[in-house]
Structure 1
Amino acid sequence: MSQQNVVAEPVVAPRMTGAARRDQILAAARTVFSARGYTASTDEVARAAGVSQPYVVRLFGSKRELFVETYRQASAQVLTALRSVEPGPDAGRRMGDAYVGLLTDRELLLLLMHGFIAGTDEEVGRIARHTLGEAFRLFRDASGADEDEARRFVAQGMLINVLLAVGAADHAGEDAGMDALVKCTIEAIEERNA
């Protein structure tokens, strides 16, 4: 019985469309910017996406434009979740649930926080202001809540975001005030969901 030399054919990955490559870079940018904020480089994003840094710049123009687009997508994700809630008597609770559900995505959470820090950029600031204002309006309109209740909804969401971003629950026992804040914030969510 003779052995034959078998030469395996190289596996060639299907060529990605421009739109798919753009989405791949934006997904990598979301990961990189959520971890390092605006200080991350286009080179880091390119490595994470498996493409060259000049390709990233060719598609997006600059790190700023890439960050703006990544932040725009994250903000749109929040608003889409809130818009998906039908108006009605329990719309406020369902909007809270929709928002809390988004926060299981740590990259989304951290990217939103980095956007607030980078809000000195006019475009990022515009997106952040629109997102906060639209969350306020959507809550008020869907739930029939007054402005004070809608303000508390947005403020509670921001507080939850900050507590999760700093890992407050993971550091129980370090600070009594923080422990109390985490406890009453989590209890408020649990009471709302009861």
Structure 2
Amino acid sequence: MSADERRELAIKAAMAEFASGGYDGTSTAAIAERVGVSQPYMFRLFPTKRALFLAAADRCFADIETVLRDAAGGLHGKEAMTAMAEAYRRLLREDPTLLRFQLKIYGAAVGEDELARLGHHRWARLFRLVGDLSGAPPEEVVRFMAVGTLVNVLTAFQVPYVPGDDLPASLEAWSEGLRGADALDPDGR
């Protein structure tokens, strides 16, 4: 296997390991073991754990871009936005590791300048991609991205919801159904 192939395996393994343990809780030894290489060889592929995390974070966003691009296909406008939203929700269901890793990236970026710069760049790319593929104006792209972030939270907390235009009503019904029944908050808040 070539170094490029091993590097690719290392990035995929790092995404899974970091999704589970976060940056601080993941060792390069665990990633190397998952790939089937020694830890010293892992450091030949990536000179530092940080470099590996950054490569994995970059790949996470690249994978999301690919899913959105493929979903939009030759569609335009609302049809493209709907197809991208459905594909993203499907991705979260089919690959929960991606959501876990995204959430770890966001948490790690707070106070971590290099990762924040990567996220800054990648979110700009996602914003342009959604706009370019759909032809939607910036305010619609903002809504799309905001709802996508909300869907991350809803998925992480296993909140039932109906996507699309019915999302607000479904969330209102869900939250009202829990009013006064929340055993975790004895004050009923």
Counterpart Cα distance in 2 of 1:32 and 1:58: 19
Give the equivalent residue in structure 2 for 1:49.
35
Q: Deviations over 1:46-100 (max 9, x none)?
A: 1222221111112100100000011111111111222232341311111112222
Instruction: Choose which of 139, 146, 152 in structure 1 pairs with 2:130.
Output: 139
Q: Which has the larger radius of gyration?
A: 1
The correspondence for 2:114, drawn from 123, 134, 137, is 123
Question: TM-score, structure 2 length as denominator?
Answer: 0.76
Structure-2 change in CA distance of 1:49 and 1:190 (3 Å): farther
Q: How large is the RMSD of aligned CA atoms in angstroms? A: 2.0
Equivalent in the alignment of 2:89 = 100
Q: How does the TM-score come out when normalised to structure 1?
A: 0.74
Write the mapping of 1:160-175 to structure 2, written as runs, cut at 5 A.
160-165=151-156, 168-169=157-158
Structure 2 unaligned spans of 5+ = 168-189
Contact 1:35/1:110 (<8 A) preserved:
yes
Counting matched residue pairs gives: 161
Post-superposition offset of 1:131 = 2.6
Runs of 4+ in 1 over 3 A off after TM superposition: 189-192
The 5 A counterparts of 1:52-131 are 52-84=38-70, 85=72, 86-89=74-77, 90-103=79-92, 104-119=94-109, 120-131=111-122
| 8 A Cα contact 2:127 2:141, kept in partner | yes
* Amino acid paired to 1:30: M
Q: Which amino acid aligns with 1:88?
A: H
Aligned-pair identity in percent equals: 37
